[in-house]
Amino acid sequence: MDKEKWQIPDMSNIGRFDADPDLVAEAKDPKGRTSAPSIDDDAADAFLLNIGLNVRARRLDISMKQADLAALAGCSEYQIRLVEQGKANPTIRLTLAICAALGVSYADIFP
C-alpha cells in the first residue's frame, strides 16, 4: 500500500472574513449587510426589564427567595438579582433553568 504524503493546508485565514474578499461577499445577507443589524438599545433594555419583572413576579407568587431560585437554577443570587433588575442578558440555558425552577413555561417569562 503506497502512502501518500498529506499536505497540511494553510489554515491561518480560517475564520477571518477580511482575509479573502470572496468570503465577505458570501457572508452578506440578502440585504447586502456584512454585519448584524443595529438594535434599538432602549427597546432591548425594556425587553430585558420585562423579562426581569416577570421572573420577579413569578418568584414572589410562590414566596421564593432569590437565593433559593439561584440554587435551583444553578447560578448565583447576584445573577438572579441582575436578571430581575433587567441589568443582565441571560442566556437561553439560564432562562430555561429559571423557568424550570419557577415551574413556569418559557412563554410565561418572555413578554
What's the structural domain count of the chain? 1
Within a domain: residue 16?
no
Residue 1 within a domain: no
Q: Per residue of the chain (111 residues), what is the pLDDT tens digit? A: 444 444 444 545 444 444 455 544 444 555 565 566 667 788 889 999 999 999 999 999 999 999 999 999 999 999 999 999 999 999 999 999 999 999 999 899 987
Query: Residue 73: inside a domain, yes or no?
Result: yes
Q: Does any domain span residue 72?
A: yes
Domain span at 60: 41-109
- Domain containing residue 99: CATH number: 1.10.260.40
Rounded distance between C-alpha atoms, residue 16 and residue 23, angstroms: 9
